[in-house]
Amino acid sequence: MSGKIVVLTGAGISAESGLGTFRDAGGLWAQNRIEDVATPEAFARDPARVQAFYNTRRVQAAAARPNPAHLALARLADEYDGEVVIVTQNVDALHEAAGSRGVLHMHGTLAGALCAACGHRWAAPDVMQVGETCPACHAPSARPDIVWFGEMPYHMDEIAEHLHSATIFAAIGTSGEVYPAAGFVESAAVYGARTVELNLAPSTIAAQFDEARIGPASQVVPDWVADILKP
């Protein structure tokens, strides 16, 4: 088999690495209101609270290890005859830790700092302080390089091009609740991709996929990859 495979991952692929999802029972959005920690307005109002939320997540993510699902996607890119593109909504670095390269982090990364004044990016410290200065413009405007609600996700033009030339589109461990990522299946299908959802339970947009593989990512992703790589 050849052709381009575009994989979209969400929090579910990192759940078995010990990182919480957002909308499952007890998830991050059950413990924190989005409007308190994940909007530009929240950061303007209470930067200490927002920095504390992401500092905690940065520490948790640094301690996490990739699971068999991340490893299987790295194997897919190594062994598949065509191109494999990973687009992730996740802000952890577990795809990279598993060996995947060129991952498109559409919602940013915990490892990054961004200057809210000049747009300069640099590596985030483990614990980011309120009012930390930008190494480029020296404004006290450091923020996590995370795309918040109301902001434009990264790499959208490049992702659209990949979706339009995909042979297979797979969504792994994502609830289909957040756009634009939730619209990727439709874009890929319109341009002729075969679509598959891999999830612990069918997502809210499950009906839009050609195929479903239901179960924990650590099992269904390696099985799916093995099927694709089967001679």
Nearest-approach distance from CB 78 to ligand OAD, in angstroms: 22
CA atoms within 13 A on the CB side of 140: 5
Q: Judging by beta carbons within 10 Å of its beta carbon (0-12, 13-18, 19+), is residue 121 exposed, middle or buried? A: middle
Q: Judging by beta carbons within 10 Å of its beta carbon (0-12, 13-18, 19+), is residue 37 exposed, middle or buried? A: buried
Q: What is the DSSP letter of 150?
A: T
Nearest-approach distance from CB 27 to ligand OAD, in angstroms: 5
Conformational region of residue 155, where left means phi above 0, alpha means psi within -120 to 50, and beta covers everything else: left
Question: Quick check: 68 binds ligand OAD (CB under 6 A)?
Answer: no
Question: Quick check: 174 binds ligand OAD (CB under 6 A)?
Answer: yes
The one-letter amino acid code at 149 reads F
- Is residue 94 a contact partner of residue 64, using CB atoms and an 8 Å limit? yes
Which of 107, 120, 138, 164 is catalytic? The answer is: 107
For ligand OAD, how many residues bind (rule: CB under 6 A)?
26
Site pattern 132..171 for ligand OAD (x: CB under 6 A):
---------------x-x----------------------
Q: Is 138 a catalytic residue?
A: no
Show which residues are catalytic: 107
Q: What does the binding site for ligand OAD look like in residue numbers (CB under 6 A)?
A: 10-12, 15-16, 21-24, 27, 38, 89, 107, 147, 149, 173-175, 177-178, 199-201, 203, 216-217
